[in-house]
Amino acid sequence: MTEQLTPADPARIGGHRLLARLGTGGMGVVYLGRADTGELAAVKVIRPEYAAEPDFRARFRREAAAARRVRSPWVVPVTGADPEAEAPWLATAFVPGPALAEAVARCGPLPERGTRILGKILARALAAVHAAGLVHRDVKPGNVLLAVDGPRLIDFGIARSPEETALTSPDAVVGTPGFLAPEQAQGRETGPAADVFALGCVLAYAATGRPPFGTGAVDALLYRTVHDEPDLSGAPDGVRDVVARCLAKDPADRPTATGLDAVLVEDAPEGTAEWLPDDVVRLIADRSAAMLALPDAEATVAGAAEAAPAAGRRRFLALGAGGAALVAAGGGAALWAGLRDEGGSGSAARRWTLGVQADLSGPQRAAGRAQERGVRLAVEQFNARERRPFELAVAVADDRGDPAEAERAARRLAADRDLLAVVGSTGDKTTGAALGAYDARRVPQLTVSSAQGAYGTASRRSLLQTVPTYGTTSLPAALFLQAEGVRRVGMVIDRAAGEFAWEEGHLAYKTLGLVELEVHPRVVPRSADSPAAVLADVLDRRPDAVYYAGSPRRAADLAHKLLARDFTGVRILGYPAAGPEFTARAGPAAEGWEVFAPYIDPEAERVAGFAAAFRKRYGHAPGRWAAEAYDVAGMVLDRLTEAVLGGRRPERGRLFELLTGSTYRGMVREYAFQDGYLQGVEAFHYRVRHGRFAYAGPADVGA
């Protein structure tokens, strides 16, 4: 997908007329350009701060020359480069098709034959890379483009000769976690075998729709890559055996790229895409037609300032603790009357849509229903105002907490051209499953309770996490332990509970160390029947406190064991385990456990006005996460209003920019973002009293 050029973008680079932006990254901007010969190219332009470094230029010079040495129809060729230019650039032939990551996210896994043919062609591509004396080092679904005449391997941004490592820090991990070989994950020397391992990961993803080592925090991904066996469940037999060989931990046990080509005895038709499913072929055709139909761009001037916002812009939406209040600004009606929507009709008559994707009937239905009702209340209060710039509808999709249904629900919602943003989904797995569909259509996706730190291969072009990620609540926990005079902490990280437990526990371990607490961590294996199995070792260290990251059921087992051992120290429970199941199973053993969570108590004074409005509307008290969902809906409404009063059509991309580029003060917390993540760690303290989690007030998060 392309984005419009900005006024600050140059008109030409190295003989290429720039037409659009293809993407941005940490190192620079990639443009779609048209050469003087008429051919399209992807032109990567390096950021000035890197161009000023002599070492970086040396590396860029080497890598541009290295990429030119590769000769294969399945590797996108370098068509030009200028490492000495003021803004160094490199151009490759443009492939107007989707990445494998997008194709799988939107259309599902490939069939067995399609996966094997993909593997055979990519093995040939890697064989050519290795024959040129290079290692690609970042083979992943996002670097495999699907074209009408076959796949292409792209991006030699970090490819180099195996001996050329001087410009890389010895302990740096280069590549994409989840698609790295164990030797890469450990920062050791890598060779062609690392590319074969990565290809195995890509084929596992193509066949199952998920990376073989899961998703989640980077540290967790690297740990599983080095120590765990890949999850190949669901992969066809004809794919599983080949992939398993590629994913051998020892590089010497993996096949070569040439050997893999020979093993995959398939009819690999050149010049066609008939080996792909029909919906993927249609996606390739649609993307190719859209890209190739781009007109020449108007000239822009490098360094030109962006247009200033309309003078006198006024914000007139305020969502406070007592509900929504609309403050009309003088002259606003004239602005509304002049707006036009995509169809050319007056926007005041247009009914735009805010989506809610949630688990309304599955394992997290209580949180999902609370979030849906929080969003509805905010929108209803907005629509009840007499003077409003637009009317907003709410479209709801129940994904039942199932990743497959979450992907289908996201596709349905994203297909609505009037959908401007979506709040959801409720859980980590469903959020990750839905991300590809929303990202493909640039629908801003705002999570309320999904706190995972990473979502595999999906990009973050449209995702905003409005909740602190797992483990960040360990900061107030650490400060609390410090204030209680705790010196030694026994930490139990229960891997059987899932990704969140590892992510939460690992970051908590680091955070506790930062405040100079002595931490003794123990990891409970997936196969262990109970975390209590490691308790004796933890208590042998004579800790003043025990910190558990895991599930509510297994937390209850641990609580019973601690009570039986007469442990009287502080007990910290990671918030994902804090719920009715823990208190019901633990009984008296739950008393006194401390929890630091990102959600506010619905009865807290800070949200009293909201709670009263919620009771009036629904006849019962709000549940956990309802206030946060109301806040997030209020933020979307506020930014939409800003777009409308600024005279702008509220397009999805523009709305995402407004959401990420400014700060919103809600009832629960302040919302400001960097790279899609919430900044700040506002948390709330709970303590089990008389069988329930009693609210103890806002947590101390330091200065």
Q: Determine contact, residues 134/161, Cβ cutoff 8 Å.
A: yes
Buried b (16+ CB within 10 A) or exposed e, 251-272: beebbbbbebbebbebebeeee
Distance CA 490, CA 542 (A): 8
Identify the residue whose tokens are 């890509």: 202
| Cα-Cα end-to-end distance for the chain | 42
Whether 138 is catalytic is: yes
Amino acid identity of 309? P
| Element containing residue 570 per DSSP (H, E) | strand 570-573
Distance CA 81, CA 43 (A): 9
Distance CA 645, CA 314 (A): 7
Q: How far is CA 81 from CA 13, 32, 34, 59, in A?
A: 10, 15, 15, 13
Please give the angle made by the CA atoms of 155, 160 and 162, to the nearest 5 degrees: 140
Amino acid identity of 63? E
Amino acid identity of 559? A
Q: Provide the sign of the torsion angle of the four alpha carbons 41, 675, 429, 413, taken in this order.
A: negative
Nearest one of 623, 624, 657 to 639, comparing CA atoms: 657
Q: Determine contact, residues 624/426, Cβ cutoff 8 Å.
A: no
Q: Where are the alpha helices (DSSP H) in 324-469?
A: 332-338, 365-383, 403-414, 428-440
- Joined together, the tokens standing for residue 56 give 């970086």
Catalytic position from the list 36, 55, 82, 138:
138
Nearest one of 135, 142, 186 to 158, comparing CA atoms: 135
Q: Determine contact, residues 439/463, Cβ cutoff 8 Å.
A: yes
- Joined together, the tokens standing for residue 44 give 């990567």
Distance CA 93, CA 41 (A): 5
Active-site amino acid positions: 138
